[in-house]
Structure 1
Amino acid sequence: MPGFTADNVTDQTGKVFVVTGANSGLGFEAARVLAARGGDVVMACRDEGKARTAMARIAAETPGAKLDFVELDQADLDSVRRAADALRGRDRIDVLINNAGVMMPPLSHTAQGFELQFGVNHLGTFALTCLLLPALEQTAGSRVVITSSIAHKSGEALWSDPKAEAGYSRMQRYYDSKLANALFLVELDRRLRASGSGIAAIGCHPGVAATNLGRNFGFARLLMPLAGKLLNTAEEGAWPTLQAATDPEAESGDYYGPRGIREMAGESGPAFLTRLARDPGAGQWLWKRSVELTGINPGLRAVD
């Protein structure tokens, strides 16, 4: 059966998509395609200037594209709350695409003092999603898209030290943040289904794609353009995101990624989540910890 690409994205007229980190990389490519298919795209980004530049690029390609901007810095939970307030004021939200993230920076911290990768990649995603669930619930067929990574397979769930006070491995902390994304996807789906919600929680990962996310790789970042030739371009890396956001056959709990060898490249299709990522106990523990750290509780009950 053929895989999913941008060509499979049907007309999205009338739907509103919120795309975090939409000014570059995978987020930009997803926003570009969604706008070209008639969707209303809200670019939720940290830097307004970069977002406006990205919007101009999309508008040049798709005259009349429906684009808007909301300031969002996932390294600051206060900014996440302000963005959620602004987004809740819209008439509807059909799809929230959680794309923003950071990858292997030097030891850094969020405004609230959390290690940056855990804080941005998971806590910011958790907070924004939970704050927008009531708005999403108002739109039939709405979706939350959560972006993980094949790196989640190496995650070890080391979240008892969310500020990295006991030590810091940029690589392991990245793996752990992507495992957190996968656990959040599975646990959110479980809780939404148990509550009878109409919201679908759907996950994705881009495989290995040449984007500016790898700017902290040091020497290895110089190999990313070559990786793009051998593996996925940013445009191709966005295919799983687009499938999770628009495929009419996608169901809550589904997880998509490239179908090529080791899920590194190729057209999008069903992808693999580790046993740990699907473990209910780990998911419940992370959910409870996330509520404690963010102070945001969507009120969805745990599933026994």
Structure 2
Amino acid sequence: MTDTGWTAEQMSDMTGQTVVVTGANSGLGYEVTRALARNGATVVMACRRTNHAKTVKGKILTELPDATLDVRELDLADRESIRSFAEDFEAGYDGLHVLCNNAGVMAIPRRETEDGFELQFGVNHLGHFALTALLFDRLLETPEETRVVTQSSGLHERGDINFEDLHGEREYDKWDAYAQSKLANVLFAYELDRRLDDAGIDDVLSLACHPGYASTNLQRRGPEQDGSRLRLWMAHLANAVIAQSAERGALPMLYAATAEDVVGGEYVGPGGLMNMRGLPEVQPSSDRSYDERMADRLWTVSEDMTGISYDFAHAKAADD
């Protein structure tokens, strides 16, 4: 496969469309937000650190004074924060055209969410699983086609779902935990698309994407929390020598969120060297990511853990 040659300059006008971007205040989320705003979308910046997000909003408005940006607090490590965000969003917006499940943490020492979940699995997967469920009605009620785009990583190929120790309580490796959470992202995106299809809902698409190796703050957070100067130096070096820019790394999510030729259940990533760099293309994910029994089990476990369910039968009736 070769890349599409697609760049952000080819995005269609998004005036009148509302997009939620999690983790919009830095890295890939910032670049996604900036590109969407430039093309006329109203972007809800769903961020844990709202003060920083407001500063970032100001920076974007300096460049794009006509941009429509709305900073709202969302902590994906806290189920009550997720519920509060969804309730506030529904009170303020009648429609939701695209949900960009972008925020994440990577390769950090073991910590837990407010609800006792291992932090990487809890934020990267369970938080977005719950958020998507709570915004599901808005996606369905929006008259035009809507999309859920979930950010994964090429490292999902290393991942497996350890159902016997999902939260690393017996044994924890930060990279294995990250890979597990990123595989969960792809499994979730594909399973959501299958369940939408089974329910006969064809105007909501679910896709997964990955940024390749993009230079963001994400690479330095693990070494900083470990207190490892060597790993921090190596992260800076790799970002400088190997990585593509965050602006380029945002393109797969932007393509999945806006391109007219995508379909549900696809996986988008850079089409260049080892899928680490380049312009976006639709490409295969790992063999494990297509395991429908694993995806179904993960879905059930995720509903049990979050206490939040998707009602596809009711959704279909409302859609009709």
Q: TM above 0.5, one fold? A: yes
Q: How does 1:137-286 map to 2 (within 5 A)?
A: 137-139=140-142, 140-197=144-201, 198-215=203-220, 216-217=222-223, 218=228, 219-229=230-240, 230-286=242-298
1:78-115 deviations in whole A, cap 9, x for unaligned? Answer: 11111111112212110000001000111100000000
CA RMSD of aligned residues (A): 1.3
Match of 2:99 among 96, 100, 103: 96
Query: Which range moves more in the overlay, 183-192 or 81-90?
Result: 81-90
| Counterparts of 2:295 and 2:312, CA distance in 1 | 13
1:114-138 deviations in whole A, cap 9, x for unaligned? Answer: 0000000000010001111111001
Return the offset for 1:224: 3.9
Equivalent residue number for residue 66 of structure 1: 68
| Counterparts of 1:98 and 1:274, CA distance in 2 | 20
| Counterparts of 1:138 and 1:220, CA distance in 2 | 47
1:270-289 deviations in whole A, cap 9, x for unaligned? Answer: 12211210111000000000
- Residue 276 of structure 1 aligns to a residue whose secondary structure is helix
| Counterparts of 1:55 and 1:37, CA distance in 2 | 16
**Does the 8 Å CA contact 1:76/1:110 hold for their aligned counterparts?**
yes
Q: TM-score, normalised by structure 1?
A: 0.96
Equivalent residue number for residue 114 of structure 1: 117
Equivalent residue number for residue 316 of structure 2: none
* Runs of at least 5 residues in structure 2 that lack an aligned partner in the other structure: 314-320
**Does the 8 Å CA contact 1:22/1:45 hold for their aligned counterparts?**
yes
Q: TM-score, normalised by structure 2?
A: 0.91
| Counterparts of 2:97 and 2:139, CA distance in 1 | 7
- Residue 51 of structure 1 aligns to a residue whose secondary structure is helix
Return the offset for 1:225: 4.3
1:44-101 deviations in whole A, cap 9, x for unaligned? Answer: 0001101101101110110121000111000111111111111122121100000010
| Counterparts of 1:261 and 1:150, CA distance in 2 | 13
Amino acid at match of 1:232: Q
Equivalent residue number for residue 19 of structure 2: 17
| Counterparts of 2:63 and 2:234, CA distance in 1 | 29
| Counterparts of 2:52 and 2:25, CA distance in 1 | 6
Say whether residues 1:83 and 2:88 are aligned partners: no
* Runs of at least 5 residues in structure 1 that lack an aligned partner in the other structure: none
Amino acid at match of 1:227: A
Amino acid at match of 1:40: T
Change (3 A) 1:187 1:108: same
Say whether residues 1:49 and 2:14 are aligned partners: no
**Does the 8 Å CA contact 1:4/1:240 hold for their aligned counterparts?**
no
The percentage of counterpart residues that share the same residue type is 44
Amino acid at match of 2:291: D
| Counterparts of 2:163 and 2:103, CA distance in 1 | 20
| Counterparts of 1:145 and 1:160, CA distance in 2 | 28
Equivalent residue number for residue 317 of structure 2: none
Return the offset for 1:36: 0.7
- Residue 182 of structure 1 aligns to a residue whose secondary structure is helix
Amino acid at match of 1:51: A
Return the offset for 1:232: 1.2
Say whether residues 1:129 and 2:141 are aligned partners: no
Amino acid at match of 2:90: R
Query: Which range moves more in the overlay, 97-106 or 153-162?
Result: 153-162
**Does the 8 Å CA contact 1:98/1:145 hold for their aligned counterparts?**
yes
**Does the 8 Å CA contact 1:96/1:145 hold for their aligned counterparts?**
yes
Residues matched between the structures, number: 301
Return the offset for 1:226: 4.0
| Counterparts of 2:294 and 2:180, CA distance in 1 | 12
- Residue 173 of structure 1 aligns to a residue whose secondary structure is helix
**Does the 8 Å CA contact 1:211/1:224 hold for their aligned counterparts?**
no
